[in-house]
Amino acid sequence: MASHRRPKQPSRARVTVLTAAAATAVALSAQVSAHAAPAKPNKDEVKAQVDKLLEEQEQAAERYNGAKERSDQLRKQADQLQDQVARGQGQMTELASGLAAVAGQEYRSGGMDPSMQLMLSTNPDGYLAQASSFEQAASTQADTLKSLKDQQRRLDQQKQEAAAVLAELDRSTQALNDAKTEVQSKLKDAQKLLSQLSAADRAAVMGDRASRSDDRFDLSNLPAPGGYAAVAVDAAMSKRGSAYVWGATGASTFDCSGLMVWAYAKAGVSLPRTSQSQATVGTNVGTNVANAQPGDLVIYHNDAHHVAMYIGNGLVVHAPRTGDVVKVMKADAMPIKTIRRV
């Protein structure tokens, strides 16, 4: 009679191993498929993200400009205070030396009061002659002591002021470094996004030289400004095509506020470094472009992080953003915060 044996059932451990292996194979297959056919980034989405990053980069760049301007001012102030402290210390040393000489003379004379020494002199006729000199010396000594105390107070105050300025300089330097790091981070993120696109799509997002040109505007009949505004407008317009570089104030690269600083400097007018500070100079013209005159500063966005120069006929010249160049655009192409007449 034939023997029928039941097939051996797989152990629980073997079932677990086989199940895990199958799951791993499925996961690996999914990963391979994902790598084999990565999702193509949407050009319009990338453009929106890049535009946002570059706007945030410009905001950070203006914070950097402000921190740098403040750091430069504080460094100059600290140098001046330290020079004053050094001079004050020298004067203190000179005054103290004078008093030390007087004290040494008294010690050598046995500590006797000078007036007593004069009265006990064997030359009575000389007493009257020396008495006047003694009074003058005593007065000089008192004045020297008072000057020494006054100088000590001034020196202590200068030291405190220098310490406070140096502490603020440290804080300003940290803000400067933080803003610089933020700018570089925004640019890096934007570049990472752009690297996902084809060369053609990158050109479409950032704009090629032709699309960045301002040749579409008629600049042949711009109104002629007067005075120093004419010099500033001509200077700014002469830099059309120059590259935007954050933190730059010329003469071949500019950021938005740097172009204004450089152009007006050519006219002998000093402007503050940041667009936020430039939003407070001169006279407020409002927000209506119809009231603007060539040379006026047009400040954009609620936080005033961009600035351009009005050139007439509803147009401005400006340094737009990273990857772009100094060019002309419509004055109302962005939300206007204020127009300032310098």
306 given a catalytic annotation: yes
CB 290 within 8 A of CB 218: no
Instruction: Verify whether residue 4 is a known catalytic residue.
Output: no
The yes-or-no answer on residue 35 being catalytic is no
Q: Is 174 left (phi over 0), alpha (psi -120 to 50) or beta?
A: alpha
* Exposure letters 248-275 (e unless 16+ CB within 10 A, then b): bbbeebbbbbbbbbbbbbbbebebbbbb
Please identify which of the residues 35, 301, 305, 306 carries the catalytic annotation: 306
The one-character DSSP state at 308 is E
Q: Looking up tokens 């000078």, which residue turns up?
A: 114
Backbone phi and psi for residue 338, each to the nearest 5 degrees, phi listed first = -165, 155
SS3 74: helix
Type of residue found at 13: A
Q: With CA atoms as reference, report the closest residue to 243 among 232, 259, 226.
A: 259
Cα three-residue angle 274-277-280, rounded to 5 degrees: 150
- State both tokens at 238: 């002469």
* Active site amino acids: 256, 306, 318
